[in-house]
């Protein structure tokens, strides 16, 4: 039989081995030997070459965006009706042969009469009817700057969007440029006089900025004004129930206080862009 002393010695050795094993287990997580690298993780910071390639890609995208925007702007302005058409519907053969010139006021037919400052011959005297049934002429707005838009009350999306944009422009001008704001009048001219009665326009106008003046007239009056402004207007085929849409130019004309065209604002422009252009035109001081 083992003596008590031998048994005690065996227990000490066993305890020593258990403690050593436990110490190794506790020590292992804190070992200075690093774990193998994870091949799926990023190996380091972005290199200069990758930054250079990203910069080239961003510049290419920006250049493409600008070219595409110019292309769409030109397409929009090519809807202008030539003086050789009837002023109510486009003359495709004439439009296809015409060259367009880019001016500070947008794209216009190259052979149109341009003044010394390069302004296209757009606009002229007109007579229409307001919502009270009174005759209104262009002469009555001399001394005021005009934001003129052609549309129709049953337009499902584009007209409301453009009119809301003009409303935002008016609110911004009132807040930031009150003196300019008080000299600007927004006008809406219906290109669908057959359906846009005074009552229909009055109800339509309730949804938009209160500063709007809504105008309509006899078909020949509207047609004459559309022709002077080179506005493209085309009635689509009627549905069985007699309903139809009207395709038209999407341009906001900006007239100065003498009645001359000062600028044109296309659909792609934001309200902030329009405000910037308006302030630029109204505060411009010639140096000659």
What single-letter DSSP state applies at residue 216?
Answer: B
Q: Is 155 annotated as a binding residue?
A: yes
Nearest to 214 by CA among 285, 170, 151: 151
Read off the tokens for 242: 């007699």
What H or E segment, with its residue span, contains residue 182?
none
Residue 147's Cβ-side half-sphere holds a number of Cα atoms within 13 Å equal to: 31
The count of other CB atoms within 10 Å of the CB of residue 117 is: 10
Give the residue from 260, 268, 253 showing the smallest Cα distance to 284: 260
Q: What are phi and psi of 137, to 5 degrees?
A: -120, 160
192 touches 154 (CB < 8 A): yes
CB 257 within 8 A of CB 142: yes
Contact in structure between 205 and 163 (CB atoms under 8 Å): no
Go through 271-280 and write b for each residue having 16 or more CB atoms within 10 A of its CB, e for each that does not.
Answer: beebbebbee
CB 262 within 8 A of CB 256: yes
Ligand-binding site membership of 264 (annotated): no
| H/E element, 188 | strand 184-190
Is 248 known as a binding-site position? Answer: yes
Which positions make up the binding site?
155, 159, 248
Which positions make up the binding site for Cu cation?
155, 159, 248
């Amino acid at each position: 039989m083992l003596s008590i002393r031998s048994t005690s010695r065996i227990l000490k050795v066993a305890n020593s081995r258990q403690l050593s094993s436990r110490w190794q287990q506790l020590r292992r997580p804190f070992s200075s030997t690093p774990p193998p690298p994870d091949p799926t993780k990023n190996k380091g910071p972005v290199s200069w070459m990758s930054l250079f390639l990203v910069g080239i890609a961003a510049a290419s995208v920006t250049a493409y965006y600008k070219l595409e925007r110019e292309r769409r702007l030109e397409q929009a302005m090519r809807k202008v009706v030539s003086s050789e058409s009837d002023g109510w519907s486009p003359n495709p053969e004439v439009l296809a042969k015409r060259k367009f010139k880019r001016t500070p006021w947008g794209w216009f037919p190259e052979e149109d009469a341009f003044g010394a400052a390069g302004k296209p011959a757009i606009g002229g005297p007109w007579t229409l009817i307001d919502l009270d049934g009174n005759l209104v002429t262009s002469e009555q707005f001399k001394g005021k700057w005009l934001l003129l838009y052609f549309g129709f009350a049953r337009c499902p999306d584009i007209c409301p969007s453009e009119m809301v944009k003009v409303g935002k422009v008016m609110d911004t001008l009132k807040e930031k440029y009150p003196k300019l704001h008080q000299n600007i009048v927004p006008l809406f001219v219906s290109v669908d006089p057959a359906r846009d009665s005074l009552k229909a326009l009055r109800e339509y106008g309730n949804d938009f900025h209160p500063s709007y003046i809504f105008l309509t007239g006899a078909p020949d009056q509207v047609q004459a004004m559309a022709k002077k402004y080179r506005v493209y207007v085309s009635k689509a085929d009627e549905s069985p129930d007699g309903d139809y849409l009207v395709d038209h130019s999407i341009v906001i004309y900006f007239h100065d206080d003498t009645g001359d065209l000062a600028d044109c604002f296309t659909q792609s422009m934001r309200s902030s862009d329009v405000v910037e252009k308006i302030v630029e035109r109204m505060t411009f001081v010639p140096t000659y």
